[in-house]
Structure 1
């Protein structure tokens, strides 16, 4: 059994909001004059997704969601990526921006990106709040990211452990104990 012993602050709510605003401005510039679909990966990205969209100044953006899983209630990926709930939009010929909370092993985002390419998307880019390289198993290009971390088990601002801690306004490193 794994328990959380302590939470150590990594990124404050203020740091996150400042960086999310910068990302929104960059995405606005990069997609100027283009229609695009932002796909939020549930459930972890919902808070980042919402805050980011408020900072994208465009009336040409559509929203969609999908739920994928490779972790379940574990702290490490199972290596098997499952699409639990798919997008509603037809992605053929569309510019797609996938928005995720954390890219760790890269397996999930590589699979999701491949799915949209196979469906005929015009372009597919990735945006993540956290680019975490500790357990990267596959090469995946992250076009936009808020912060980079080398290691650590992090929680808050949408990121969870077994469904909990998502509501914290900042990002914390969890000190875990395995029993």
Structure 2
């Protein structure tokens, strides 16, 4: 049985979402925003974030990439499993991710989305984790930075388990 060490409490998550939602709302005021959630991990974060935004025009879509499988380290083999359906040509795009870790997945997704010729692409992550960063990726909006550990809860998983935990934990096997 793994040990779960609390890293970010539920109330702190909500406070940080409110904070970055205000910044995003200010930055995109009067513009249409296309929010692209990265499945599966970002679905809870995206849902809570969208409800806090003060914008009139928001479209939501999803894409899915995988690099971890059932391990605690990235395989570095990034597989795009689901592409977007909405047209982002000439639009402002905000990619919403649960965690940016090595940066490899995010760099691959940004490269892919740029082929659709958007006006802009920015990154919003629940967690900006730089411990294993291998590719320079600029996270424009982050709820928090965590230096180390394998994290689960609030959408983050280990082998598809523990996404349902209401807070973020460091999991020790």
TM range (shorter): over 0.9
Matched, 1:94 2:91: yes
Matched, 1:48 2:51: no
2:169 is aligned to 172
Instruction: Give the Cα separation in 2 of the matches to 1:166 and 1:103.
Output: 16
Instruction: Give the Cα separation in 1 of the matches to 2:167 and 2:105.
Output: 24
What RMSD over aligned residues (CA atoms) do the two structures have, in Å?
Answer: 0.8
1:116 is aligned to 113
1:9 is aligned to 6
The alignment's TM-score, normalised by the length of structure 1, stands at: 0.95
What SS does structure 2 have at the residue aligned with 1:74? coil
Query: Gaps (5+ residues) in structure 1?
Result: none
Instruction: Give the Cα separation in 2 of the matches to 1:115 and 1:175.
Output: 34
After superposition, the C-alpha distances for 1:29-86 in whole angstroms (9 at most, x for unaligned) are 0001111100001110000000000011112110001111111111111111111011
1:154 is aligned to 151
What SS does structure 2 have at the residue aligned with 1:27? helix
Count of residue pairs brought into register by the alignment = 173
Matched, 1:57 2:68: no
Instruction: Give the Cα separation in 2 of the matches to 1:18 and 1:119.
Output: 34
The alignment's TM-score, normalised by the length of structure 2, stands at: 0.98
What SS does structure 2 have at the residue aligned with 1:16? helix
After superposition, the C-alpha distances for 1:111-149 in whole angstroms (9 at most, x for unaligned) are 111111121011000000000011100000100001001
